[in-house]
Amino acid sequence: MKQPDSIIKLINKFSSLPGVGLKTAQRFAYSVIDMTEAEVNDFCEAMQAVKTNVHLCTECGNFTERDVCDICLKRDKSVICVVAYPKDVLALDKGGSYKGVYHVLHGTLSPLDGRGADDLNIKSLIKRLEGVKEVIMATNPDVEGEATAAYLARLIKPFGIKVTRLAQGISIGSDIEYADEITLERALDGRTEI
């Protein structure tokens, strides 16, 4: 049995969203049929509004609807936390204890994928280093993230600015029994006095 063309087309669209397989896409498409026409139009307007209104903050590269984002406008600019993607800003800022600003690279160095320093939002980071006391590297603790952090550290240290890295160790609520060796080694290396 072949489904109507417009349903198949919508299923394909939903499949392009991250982490959505055929079955889930199908469920989404069928739920769109159950929406009212007004709801569908609202949904579309919301999608298009995001494309029209949201662009990158000219200072940090995070998503904003203005020229400069709220964080860059209001917070302590002497500490910059460097992340790979806008979603990382969300995660780091949820705790609420960090009072500095962010800088979004929009990727990590990855020679294998042909992504070099020029493809990342690095130039604007160098430009805003005046008066900065500390740059925190908050890229993922994987090969690319570590390489990017090391590269930027070499670039920034000559300015006489302290460059730090997020602590690596066991996660809160996790089980030491099941932690991997490298994590445990890092946790031992970075142990603190109590």
Q: Using CB under 8 A, list all residues that contact a copy of itself.
A: 1-7, 9-10, 12-13, 17-19, 24, 26-33, 35, 37, 40-44, 46-54, 63-65, 70-71, 86-87, 89-90, 93
CA distance 189 to 194: 15
CA distance 168 to 140: 10
Question: What's the min distance (Å) between Cβ of 96 and a copy of itself?
Answer: 8
Q: Which residues pair with 115 in a beta bridge?
A: 110
**Pair type for strands 162-165 and 76-83:** unpaired
- Taking the least distance from each CB to a copy of itself, the nearer of 33 and 117 is 33
> Residue 140 corresponds to which tokens in the numbers above?
């993922």
- Taking the least distance from each CB to a copy of itself, the nearer of 102 and 145 is 102
In DSSP notation, 109-161 reads: -BGGGTB-GGGSTTHHHHHT-TT--EEEE---SSHHHHHHHHHHHHHHGGGT-
Question: What's the min distance (Å) between Cβ of 157 and a copy of itself?
Answer: 28
Question: What's the min distance (Å) between Cβ of 193 and a copy of itself?
Answer: 32
- Taking the least distance from each CB to a copy of itself, the nearer of 86 and 169 is 86
- Taking the least distance from each CB to a copy of itself, the nearer of 19 and 114 is 19
Question: What's the min distance (Å) between Cβ of 34 and a copy of itself?
Answer: 9
- Taking the least distance from each CB to a copy of itself, the nearer of 3 and 174 is 3
In DSSP notation, 169-191 reads: SPPTT--GGGS-HHHHHHHHHT-
Question: What's the min distance (Å) between Cβ of 23 and a copy of itself?
Answer: 10
- Taking the least distance from each CB to a copy of itself, the nearer of 62 and 156 is 62
Question: What's the min distance (Å) between Cβ of 64 and a copy of itself?
Answer: 6
**Pair type for strands 55-56 and 63-64:** antiparallel
